[in-house]
Amino acid sequence: MYSQVILITGASSGFGKFTAQMLAEQGHVVYGTSRKPSGNIGNVKMIVVDVTNVNSIQCAIDKIISEQGRIDILINNAGIGIGGALELTTDQEVMTQMNTNFFGVVNMCKMVLPFMRKARKGKIINISSIGGVIGIPYQGFYSASKFAIEGYSESLALEVHPFDIKVCLVEPGDFNTGFTANRNISEATLKDTDYGPSFAKSLEIIEKEEQNGCHPRKLAGTICKIVSSQNPPFRTKVGPWVQVLFAKCKCWLPHKVIQFALRFFYVIR
């Protein structure tokens, strides 16, 4: 394996931190981003980037190009979660969710792709979710942002194929990271007499599944395999085997069966 220059967003914690460290340990030159200033994490060079701010991204790209002359791999990992009923989600909450999870990916790709096209090679790994394959109750706009990444990535893979740029999707299930504690909870939904009780039950299940989920090292190892592969799969699901199997079955199970199973699992009566 030869050393590659890798840029990974959201590298200060969770998936991003473990992945960045593992890639650096394998000898790659790794730049990680975070919204707030932080020191380097081991051999990972940390830089401040707000993925919703194109000027912030441009400064980071300029720094990497000036130091390394290229960016071989972009891993779009930065993301947030907002929990609540779709009906009661505020406009600001929707914009915050979509701007970070979806438009953040779009912004990063637009800034990095010119250099990859010039080099006629590159790899973009977009972190989606099993929630980007199956809509999750009370995580609707999170799912919407990940569904958007799925469609965007499918189209992007076709457009950049002539330049030998590969696009890959990674769809994690539940993992035990700081994502659970950092989720923004809709107070309006909790207080609502119709949605509140159902939301509280579903949220308890969601958080329990996350806290009992796989260790982030499992996902980091999966991403490292994609990085090292010359012909990686376009779509990779990873996580608890039941979730992965259920997501794979969606394409042939009747919609009524999928909906029934989700209502049963999340106690939506």
The tokens describing 90, both together, are 């505020």
12 labelled catalytic:
yes
What is d(CA 15, CA 10) in angstroms, rounded to the nearest whole number? 8
- 240 φ/ψ angles, rounded to the nearest 5 degrees: -55, 135
Please tell me which residue in 17, 123, 128, 145 is annotated as part of the active site: 128
Q: Which of 59, 53, 101 is nearest to 77 (CA)?
A: 101
**128 in catalytic set:** yes
Length of the chain: 269
Neighbours of 38 (CB within 10 A): 15
- Has 146 been annotated as catalytic? yes
Measured torsion, CA atoms of residues 96, 99, 102, 108, in degrees rounded to the nearest 10: -140
Active site residue 142: yes
> From the candidates 146, 166, 198, 202, which is the catalytic residue?
146
71 within 8 A of 65, measured Cβ to Cβ: yes
| Amino acid letter for position 132 | G
Active-site residue, selected from the candidate residues 31, 142, 195, 266: 142
Please list the active-site residues: 12, 128, 142, 146
